[in-house]
């Protein structure tokens, strides 16, 4: 069977199918986790956010939340979360909220505002109410890679930079996909008994290629990353979900989001953040944690949620935020084609299970789903956790264990060169880069960033990107490519910096220009014009 889409859902489906003994190929047109998977808060919802408005989603969330703590603990930081009530909010809502959480099975403890200020000093001190819930922070890049790795360990094949150009359809049956290899421009056809469309918002186009209509409603959300971690717990507003009401600590930074705007399907590839979005995020973010007003913003980004209209409502008014799994044989009379969409990053595993169940039903496979119990690579029993690491690990090794869990053991560290730090903000070593290039399907610096966090820290890749580019040129025996890659990486960083280019972010931009253009002359060596926008 073939899975289209290398986000969390595709990766989770690939893992589940491989674990049930199916022969799996996953194809992704860009890099893994470039869509909505890599463009959200990195929040592991407790489900509390949906408790009042969508009890079903809330129950799904808390159940998946508990599962991910077990199977993906190297991707999760157990921060807990607060739902705060500010003077401008209605404190009555807190009661409704707590009752709804209880109905959904989510622990929700009302705590004193003073206690909230004590456990989370960054919180707006004017708060008048607080509820503690089991929210957490999760690294979606690491999570996706862990799923892909496990799928491969169980025989799946995965290809990034392979775009579906068309589906092979024969007598009302999908029999495979036509692929464009975007790295070398070649075309290839691959056949399979079932094709799963897990392409997120781009799934509408994949369905169109099969002659099937799915009405998707792209909901765009913009977010801001701040230069350091002001909060240690997730902070939410205790009110009906609205703009910019969640602040999540992620590794060394924190993220505020999101806005929510319905956008035309034609514009889903334009991820540029507007001035208006930045203004809203800042205004609301400061209400949650006042210190954000003086914290450097290092980046703005946006993602698109793949919301789907219910089939019984062609007007699109009743849009589901829940999981939608369509068997096109039943729905459209087209065999061998399944779409899995809707849902959230949080419920990727459950979506994978549902999609795999549908595939297995078609193929007569009766193997049970084990993904809820079997830990992902990196989170197996006995893997060192961040808390039990001692002094015998260097900064780089500790950071690598944090990122790769037990797989960090595969990183070469036997000589002084492998231990040398390339990225000092995030503690990425030469050995880790080697590991990523050789084992984690890294073709360029942006891929490397997603796998290792190189260049994601406070300095945003000012010097480490050149070091990493140079090393990758060496490992891949392609020096010219490394220069173009470096320029493309800086351009990708700039896309996120430009909407917030004032203060220290503008300073950093000028410094980067001074180093890479002024000192190094990179602009004379490469031409970015005409290069593809999305990496």
Partner 1 sequence: MRMDTVIMGGGLSGLTCGIALAKRGQRVTIVAGGQSTLMFNGGSMELLGNIDGQDVTNPLQAITTLPQNHPYSKIGANRIAEIADEAKQLLADAGINMAGDATANHWRITPMGIAKPAWLTLSENLRIDDLNQLPAKRVALMCIRGYFDQPNGMLAQGLRDLGFDVQAIEFTTDDITSLRRSPSEMRATSLAKHLVSNNALQRVADQINSLAGDADMVLLPSVLGQTDDNDIVTLQRLCNKPLRLVATLPPAVAGMRMQTLLRHYFKMLGGNYLTGDSAIGGNFEGDKLLNVTTAKLADMPLRANNFVLATGSFVSRGLAANYERVYEPVFDLDVDADADREKWTRFGVLEPQAYSRYGVATDDNLCCLKQGKTIGNLYAIGSILSGHDAIKMGDGTGVSMLTALAVARNILCGK
Instruction: Please report, as ranges, the residues that interact with partner 1 according to CB under 8 A.
Output: 272, 275, 282, 394-396, 416-417, 419-422, 424, 429-430, 463, 466-467, 469-471, 473-474, 479-480, 482-483, 487, 490-491, 493-495, 498, 501-503, 506-507, 509-515, 517-526, 528
Nearer to partner 1, 32 or 489 (CB): 489
CB of 316 within 8 A of CB of 214? no
Q: In the complex, what is the shortest distance from the CB of residue 245 to partner 1, in angstroms, rounded to a whole number? A: 21
Q: In the complex, what is the shortest distance from the CB of residue 186 to partner 1, in angstroms, rounded to a whole number? A: 27
C-alpha distances (whole Å) from 144 to each of 25, 42, 46, 82, 510 are 15, 12, 19, 27, 34
Nearer to partner 1, 265 or 526 (CB): 526
**What is the sign of the dihedral through the CA atoms of 494, 280, 57 and 372?**
positive
| Phi, psi dihedral angles at 9 (to 5 degrees) | -65, -50
Nearer to partner 1, 110 or 506 (CB): 506
Q: In the complex, what is the shortest distance from the CB of residue 207 to partner 1, in angstroms, rounded to a whole number? A: 32
Q: In the complex, what is the shortest distance from the CB of residue 208 to partner 1, in angstroms, rounded to a whole number? A: 30
Exposed e or buried b for every residue in 226-264, given b needs 16+ CB within 10 A? Answer: bbebbbbbbbbbbbeeebbbbbbbbbbbbbbbbbebeee
Q: In the complex, what is the shortest distance from the CB of residue 167 to partner 1, in angstroms, rounded to a whole number? A: 34
CB of 499 within 8 A of CB of 274? yes
CB of 368 within 8 A of CB of 339? no
Nearer to partner 1, 307 or 471 (CB): 471
72 alpha carbon, distance to own chain's centre: 14
Q: In the complex, what is the shortest distance from the CB of residue 513 to partner 1, in angstroms, rounded to a whole number? A: 5
Exposed e or buried b for every residue in 324-348, given b needs 16+ CB within 10 A? Answer: bbbbbbeebebbbbbbbbbbbbbbb
Q: In the complex, what is the shortest distance from the CB of residue 466 to partner 1, in angstroms, rounded to a whole number? A: 6
DSSP string, 269-337: T--PPPHHHHHHHHHHHHHH-GGGGGSPEEEEEEEEEEEEE-TT-TT--SEE-SEEEEEHHHHHS-BTE
Q: In the complex, what is the shortest distance from the CB of residue 287 to partner 1, in angstroms, rounded to a whole number? A: 16
Nearer to partner 1, 286 or 372 (CB): 286
Q: In the complex, what is the shortest distance from the CB of residue 447 to partner 1, in angstroms, rounded to a whole number? A: 19
What's the CA gap between 116 and 119, in Å, rounded?
5
Who contacts 381 (Cβ-Cβ below 8 Å, separation ≥6)?
375
Q: Count the neighbouring beta carbons within 10 Å of the beta carbon of residue 206.
A: 25
Q: What angle do CA 138, 122, 85 make, to 5 degrees?
A: 90
Nearer to partner 1, 263 or 515 (CB): 515
Q: In the complex, what is the shortest distance from the CB of residue 520 to partner 1, in angstroms, rounded to a whole number? A: 5
C-alpha distances (whole Å) from 490 to each of 431, 444, 445 are 23, 12, 9
Q: In the complex, what is the shortest distance from the CB of residue 309 to partner 1, in angstroms, rounded to a whole number? A: 33
Nearer to partner 1, 119 or 520 (CB): 520
What's the CA gap between 481 and 526, in Å, rounded?
10
What's the CA gap between 317 and 158, in Å, rounded?
37
Q: How many residues does the chain have?
A: 535
């Amino acid at each position: 069977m073939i899975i289209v889409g290398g986000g969390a859902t595709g990766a989770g489906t690939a893992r589940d199918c491989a674990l049930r003994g199916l022969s799996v190929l996953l194809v992704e047109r860009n890099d893994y986790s470039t869509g909505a998977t890599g463009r959200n808060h990195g929040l592991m919802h407790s489900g509390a956010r949906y408790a009042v408005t969508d009890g079903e989603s809330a129950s799904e969330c808390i159940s998946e939340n508990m599962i991910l703590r077990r199977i993906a603990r190297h991707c999760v930081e157990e921060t807990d979360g607060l739902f705060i009530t500010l003077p401008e909010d209605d404190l009555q809502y807190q009661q409704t909220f707590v009752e709804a959480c209880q109905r959904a099975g989510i622990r929700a403890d009302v705590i004193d505002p003073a206690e909230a200020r004590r456990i989370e000093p960054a919180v707006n001190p004017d708060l008048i109410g607080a509820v503690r819930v089991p929210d957490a922070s999760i690294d979606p890049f690491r999570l996706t890679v862990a799923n892909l790795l496990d799928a491969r360990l169980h025989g799946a094949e995965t290809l990034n930079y392979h775009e579906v150009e068309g589906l092979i359809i024969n007598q009302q049956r999908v029999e495979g996909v036509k692929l464009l290899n975007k790295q070398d421009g070649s075309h290839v056809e691959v056949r399979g008994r079932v094709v799963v469309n897990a392409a997120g918002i781009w799934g509408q186009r994949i369905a169109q290629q099969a002659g099937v209509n799915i009405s998707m409603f792209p909901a765009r959300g913009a977010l801001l990353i701040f230069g350091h971690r002001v909060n240690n717990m997730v902070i939410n507003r205790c009110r009906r979900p609205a703009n910019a009401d969640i602040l999540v600590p992620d590794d060394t930074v924190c993220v505020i989001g999101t806005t929510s705007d319905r956008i035309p399907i034609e514009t889903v590839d334009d991820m540029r953040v507007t001035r208006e979005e930045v203004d809203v995020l800042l205004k609301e973010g400061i209400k949650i944690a006042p210190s954000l007003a003086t914290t450097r913003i290092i980046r703005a980004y946006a993602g698109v949620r793949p919301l789907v209209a219910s089939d019984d409502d062609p007007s699109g008014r009743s849009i589901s935020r829940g999981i939608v799994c369509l068997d096109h044989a039943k729905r459209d009379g087209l065999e061998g084609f399944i779409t899995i969409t809707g849902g959230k990053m949080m419920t990727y595993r459950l979506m994978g299970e549902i999609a795999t169940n549908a595939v297995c039903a078609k193929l007569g496979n009766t193997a049970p789903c084990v993904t809820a119990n079997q830990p992902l690579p990196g989170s197996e029993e006995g893997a060192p956790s961040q808390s039990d690491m001692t002094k015998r690990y260097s900064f780089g090794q500790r950071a690598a264990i944090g990122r790769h869990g037990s797989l960090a053991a595969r990183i070469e560290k036997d000589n002084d060169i492998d231990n040398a730090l390339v990225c000092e903000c995030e503690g990425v070593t030469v050995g880790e880069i080697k590991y990523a290039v050789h084992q984690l399907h890294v073709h360029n610096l942006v891929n490397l960033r997603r796998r290792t966090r190189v260049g994601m820290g406070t300095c945003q890749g000012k010097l480490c990107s050149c070091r990493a580019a140079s090393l990758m040129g060496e490992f891949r025996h392609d020096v010219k490519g490394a220069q173009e890659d470096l320029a493309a990486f800086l351009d990708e960083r700039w896309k996120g910096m430009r909407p917030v280019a004032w203060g220290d972010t503008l300073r950093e931009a000028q410094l980067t220009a001074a180093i890479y253009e002024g000192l190094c002359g990179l602009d004379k060596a490469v031409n970015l014009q005409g290069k593809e926008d999305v990496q």
